[in-house]
Amino acid sequence: MKKILFFTILITLLISSYSINIYSKEVQNYTYEIINSFPHDRDAFTQGLYYEDGIMYEGTGLNGESDLRKTNLKTGEIIKKNELPDIYFGEGITILNNKIYQSTWKAKTMFVYSKDIKLLNIKDFPYQCWGLTDNDKYLIMSDGTDKIRYLNPDNFQLVKTLDIKYKEDSIRNINELEYINGKIYANIWQTNLIVIINPETELVESVIDLSNIINPNNYNYKLNVLNGIAYDQNNDRLFVTGKLWPKIFEIKLIPKTE
């Protein structure tokens, strides 16, 4: 019994019990291998990330600094961007039906663009949003709680709500989202973890531990938290970054054995 307890390692996740055992046999646990890295604007307070055809679309946050940008993944060059008025704090983004949706934090406003970053509409939105993704039919959003909501993209009417749990505990601070092969990948704010959620069961099926993916001691400016997930569907590539990070990393998931 003492050996079992000794090898049980808990990582703080701000769930109701405030800990997730990432070595639990009930979930698949991953570490990572860095496959490639790409330049990222170190002044970008990343709130949302979306990859398509060599282009990284990114939504950034902070009042007075929020924008939506279209960048060349390989070079980091900003091809075009739209700056939000100072009253808006930009949040998650996604592309659905050839439209870019950019959410906001407290303003309950959704910005809608074409893929060349032409602003098409500004709509009232019923929720304070953190993360945003889609499943090719519905918008899927988080708000920093244990809830994930599916919304009609035309009128933002609620379709369904998921109550996300790790084992039997509600898991909070669900942030940036990416829908990948039927599962929802989610950053957990202020941690080095991404959880993989099965939307059918509303349970965390896997935990990705990205500890030490970037060393803050190598930079003479302040890095912020891990935030930003994107996926290259055609080539099965997974990308991650963080707020004010100088790099976007392409990673491969490596199963943990313990």
Mean pLDDT, the chain, rounded, equals 89
> Which residue, chain included where needed, has tokens 């939504």?
59
Q: What is the spatial distance between Cα 41 and Cα 39, in angstroms, rounded to a whole number?
A: 7
Residue 230, both tokens? 């994107």
pTM, rounded to two decimals: 0.88
For residue 174, what are the CA distances in angstroms to 3, 53, 136, 149, 238? 33, 27, 21, 12, 19
Give the range among 98-102, 207-211, 219-223, 229-233 with minimum mean pLDDT.
219-223
Q: What is the spatial distance between Cα 176 and Cα 220, in angstroms, rounded to a whole number?
A: 26
Enumerate residues 6+ apart whose C-beta is below 8 A from 211: 192
pLDDT one-digit tens code per residue, 162-204: 999 998 889 999 999 999 999 999 999 999 999 999 999 999 9
The range of the structural domain enclosing residue 238 comes to 2-255
pLDDT at 6 over 70: no
pLDDT one-digit tens code per residue, 103-153: 999 999 999 999 999 999 999 999 999 999 999 999 999 999 999 999 999
Residue 178, both tokens? 């990416």
CB 143 within 8 A of CB 127: yes
pLDDT one-digit tens code per residue, 52-67: 999 999 999 999 999 9
pLDDT at 208: 97
Question: For the chain, what percent of residues have pLDDT higher than 70?
Answer: 90
Burial of 63 (0-12, 13-18, 19+ CB in 10 A): middle
Element at 176 (helix H, strand E)? strand 174-180
Instruction: Give the chain's domain count.
Output: 1
Give the range among 21-35, 103-117, 241-255 with minimum mean pLDDT.
21-35
CATH number at residue 130: 2.120.10.30
Q: Secondary structure of 220-232 in the HEC alphabet?
A: CCCCCCEEEEEEE
CB 20 within 8 A of CB 8: no
> Which residue, chain included where needed, has tokens 């993989």?
196
